[in-house]
C-alpha cells in the first residue's frame, strides 16, 4: 500500500555557553551543511548523503511511498537559536503540513534533540507540540534524533516514535532515518498498535569524548541495544546527551517503545541500569597541548609508523566552539614540530589576505583568536608562507560527511616552522581527509595531524592513526562540565560520572 508522508528537517545542537547565536542567515547558508532547502530539491540534495532524511527517502522509494518534502535547515552548533530563525523555519514546516491537510497519512521529522532557542528551552518539544496540535492525536509522527539529544518528556509525548543514532562518530545517520520508516510502516499497516512509551533519565552528565562508540563503555552498551529489541519491545534508544546546555532536561536518557507499558518500562529500566552500573567507565582523558606533543614525540621516536592525531576537542565547531582558538597551534610552533598539520582554523579575513597575496608569497598576519577572548585563544601572529590556495568547494568521501558538497569559502594552507595550517572561511568540524586534501595535504603522510574535532574525526582518521590524543586547549566547548556555571539543571544531577551533584 502507498502511504503519503510529509517530511522535513530542522537541526541545531545548542551550546548555551557558546559566544555566538544561530541566526536565520546561518540556517539559510547552512554553515558546512547544505543551505536551507525546500520542496523537491530535498530529494536531489539529501538522497546521496549520510543524513537521516536521506535514509528515510531512500527506504521509502522501493515501497512506492508518496513523499512530500517541505523544508530542511541546519546551522553549525552555537549558542541559542534566534526567535526569528525558529519561527521562520517552524512556520515553513507547519504551513507545509497544513497545506497537505487530508492528503497525508503521517509526518516524519529529521531533528537533533538538543535545540535551545531564545524563547524555548526545548526547541524540538515546542515544534512537536505545534505539529501535534495541527495534525491531531491519531496521525503518526516519526522522529529521528541525534545521539547527543537531550530528550524531554514533551518530545516523547508529542511523537509516536523517536529513534536515535547508535554511532559516534555518526556513521549511521541515514540508517537511522530508514529505521524510523520501518517503525512508522508497522504503525501505518497495523502490524503494531500504537506503542507504549518509556523515558528514563540518567543521573549524571557524560563527557563527549567518553561517548565515542569506538571505545568502552559505549561500544558494548550500543552493541546490546539491538539484542533487546525483540518480542513486545519494538525500539530502544540511548542518548548520552549534550552537556553544555543549561536546561532542566540536560543529560543522558533511554527511550523505549513496546506493545505494552510493562514491556516498555522494563526495557527502559533494564538498559538504564546497565548504564548506571558502568558509570565509572565514562572516563575523561585530556592532555595539555605541550603534554600531548611530548607524548606524540615519544610515540614517533618509539617507531610509530602511522600518524599521531591530536584532537583539539574544546575548539570543535561541531559543539558550538569558534574553531579559531590558537592554543594548539602556538604549542606546535613553539615545540618545533617538523611534520605537522592542523585544521580547520576559521579565519575568513586571513584567507582573503592569503588569496590576495598569492601562492608562494609570505604574509605576516594574526590568525584566529577573534571570537573568544580567553587566555590561549587569542590571535597568533607570525610570518607564514602561503603554500596553497583553494576555493573551499569539494566533495567529501569520508564516512561522516559522505556525499556532502562542502563550500567552506576561501581556503588557504599556511606554513610556519614545520606546521601546515589549514584556514577556512566557514566554521566546520575537521572530520574528513578531503578537507586537507583540497589544499594538497595527505593527512596519513604526516607525523602529527591536528583536528578541531571531538570524536567525529575518528570515522575518517582512525585508519591513519597510530594513536589519538585528546588535547585540552582553550575553546568555547568545555569538556569538564563541573567547571560550567549551570543554573537550570535538575537538582541532584551529577556534573560528571562519579562527580559532585548540582
By the 8 A CB rule, do 408 and 426 touch?
yes
Question: Cell 575553546 appears where?
Answer: 475
Q: What is the pLDDT at residue 450?
A: 99
**Mean pLDDT lowest among 25-29, 38-42, 155-159, 403-407:** 403-407
Q: Grid coordinates standing for 158? A: 508529542
Grid cell in block for residue 258 = 513496546
Query: pLDDT value at position 112?
Result: 99
The grid coordinates of residue 140 equal: 503518526
Q: Which residues contact 347 (CB under 8 A, 6 or more apart)?
A: 324, 367, 368, 370, 423, 424, 425
pTM, rounded to two decimals: 0.96
Mean pLDDT of 291-312: 98
Each residue's pLDDT tens digit, 224-260: 999 999 999 999 999 999 999 999 999 999 999 999 9
- Calpha distance 349→488 (Å, rounded): 37
Taking the C-alpha atoms of residue 407 and residue 247, their distance in angstroms, rounded to an integer, is 33
If you search the block for the grid coordinates 529513534, which residue do you land on?
163
pLDDT at 1: 83
Read off the pLDDT band of 23 (50, 70, 90).
Answer: very high
Q: What is the pLDDT of residue 373?
A: 85
User: If you average pLDDT over residues 490-494, what whole number do you get?
Assistant: 98
pLDDT of residue 387: 99
- The answer to whether the beta carbons of residues 170 and 429 sit under 8 Å apart is no
Cα-flanking dihedrals φ and ψ of residue 68, to 5°? -120, 90
- Across the chain, what does the average pLDDT equal? 97
User: What pLDDT is stored for residue 133 in this prediction?
Assistant: 99
pLDDT in tens, 329-388: 999 999 999 899 999 999 999 999 999 999 999 999 999 999 988 887 899 999 999 999
pLDDT tens-digit series, residues 175-234: 999 999 999 999 999 999 899 999 999 999 999 999 999 999 999 999 999 999 999 999
346 touches 324 (CB < 8 A): yes
Phi and psi torsions of 29, nearest 5°: -80, -35
198-207 pLDDT, tens digit each: 999 999 999 9
Q: Candidates 1.10.15, 1.10.3470, 3.40.50, 1.10.260; correct CATH number of 1-193?
A: 3.40.50
Question: Across the strands, what pairs with 384?
Answer: 363
Which segments of the chain belong to CATH 3.40.50?
1-193
Backbone angles phi, psi at 280, to 5 degrees: -65, -15
Amino acid at each position: 500500500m502507498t502511504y503519503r508522508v510529509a517530511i522535513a528537517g530542522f537541526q541545531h545542537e545548542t551550546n548555551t555557553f557558546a559566544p555566538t547565536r544561530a541566526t536565520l542567515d546561518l540556517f539559510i547558508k547552512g554553515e558546512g551543511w547544505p543551505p536551507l532547502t525546500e520542496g523537491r530539491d530535498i530529494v536531489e540534495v539529501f538522497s546521496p548523503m549520510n543524513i537521516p532524511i536521506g535514509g528515510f527517502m531512500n527506504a521509502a522509494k522501493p515501497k512506492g511511498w508518496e513523499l512530500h518534502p517541505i523544508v530542511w535547515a541546519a546551522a553549525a552548533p552555537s549558542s541559542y537559536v534566534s526567535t526569528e530563525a525558529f519561527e521562520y523555519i517552524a512556520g515553513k514546516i507547519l504551513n507545509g503540513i497544513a497545506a497537505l491537510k487530508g492528503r497525508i497519512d503521517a509526518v516524519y521529522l529529521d531533528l537533533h534533540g538538543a535545540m535551545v532557542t531564545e524563547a524555548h528551552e526545548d526547541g524540538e518539544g515546542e515544534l512537536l507540540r505545534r505539529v501535534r496540535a495541527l495534525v491531531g492525536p491519531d496521525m503518526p509522527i516519526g522522529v529521528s534524533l541525534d545521539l547527543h539529544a537531550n530528550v524531554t518528556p514533551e518530545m516523547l509525548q508529542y511523537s509516536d516514535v523517536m529513534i536515535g543514532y547508535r554511532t559516534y562518530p555518526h556513521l549511521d545517520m541515514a540508517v537511522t532515518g530508514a529505521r524510523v520508516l520501518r517503525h512508522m510502516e508497522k504503525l501505518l499497516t497495523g502490524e503494531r498498535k500504537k506503542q507504549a512509551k518509556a523515558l528514563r533519565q540518567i543521573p549524571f552528565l557524560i563527557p563527549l569524548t567518553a561517548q565515542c562508540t569506538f571505545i568502552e563503555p559505549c561500544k558494548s552498551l550500543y552493541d546490546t541495544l539491538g539484542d533487546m529489541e525483540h518480542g513486545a519491545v519494538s525500539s530502544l534508544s540511548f542518548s548520552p546527551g549534550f552537556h553544555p546546555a543549561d536546561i532542566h532536561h540536560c543529560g543522558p536518557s533511554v527511550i523505549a517503545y513496546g506493545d505494552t507499558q510493562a514491556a516498555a518500562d522494563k526495557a527502559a529500566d533494564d538498559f538504564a541500569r546497565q548504564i548506571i552500573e558502568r558509570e565509572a567507565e565514562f572516563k575523561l582523558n585530556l592532555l595539555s597541548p605541550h603534554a600531548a606533543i611530548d607524548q606524540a614525540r615519544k610515540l614517533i621516536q618509539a617507531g610509530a609508523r602511522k600518524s599521531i592525531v591530536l584532537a583539539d576537542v574544546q575548539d570543535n565547531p561541531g559543539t558550538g566552539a569558534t574553531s579559531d582558538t590558537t592554543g594548539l597551534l602556538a604549542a606546535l610552533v613553539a615545540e618545533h614540530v617538523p611534520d605537522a598539520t592542523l585544521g580547520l582554523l576559521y579565519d575568513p579575513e586571513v584567507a582573503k589576505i592569503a588569496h590576495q597575496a598569492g601562492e608562494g608569497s609570505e604574509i605576516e598576519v594574526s590568525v584566529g583568536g577573534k571570537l573568544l577572548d580567553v587566555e590561549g585563544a587569542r590571535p597568533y601572529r607570525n610570518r607564514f608562507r602561503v603554500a596553497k590556495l583553494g576555493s573551499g568547494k569539494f566533495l567529501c568521501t569520508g564516512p561522516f560527511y559522505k556525499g556532502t558538497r562542502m563550500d567552506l569559502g576561501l581556503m588557504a594552507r599556511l606554513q610556519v616552522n614545520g606546521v601546515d595550517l589549514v584556514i577556512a572561511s566557514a566554521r566546520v568540524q575537521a572530520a574528513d581527509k578531503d578537507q586537507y586534501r583540497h589544499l594538497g595535504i595527505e593527512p596519513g603522510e604526516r607525523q602529527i595531524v591536528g583536528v578541531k574535532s571531538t570524536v567525529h574525526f575518528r570515522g575518517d582518521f582512525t585508519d591513519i592513526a597510530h594513536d589519538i590524543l585528546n588535547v585540552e586547549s582553550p575553546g568555547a566547548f568545555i569538556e569538564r562540565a563541573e567547571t560550567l556555571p549551570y543554573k537550570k539543571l535538575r537538582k541532584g544531577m551529577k556534573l560528571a560520572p562519579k562527580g559532585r551533584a548540582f
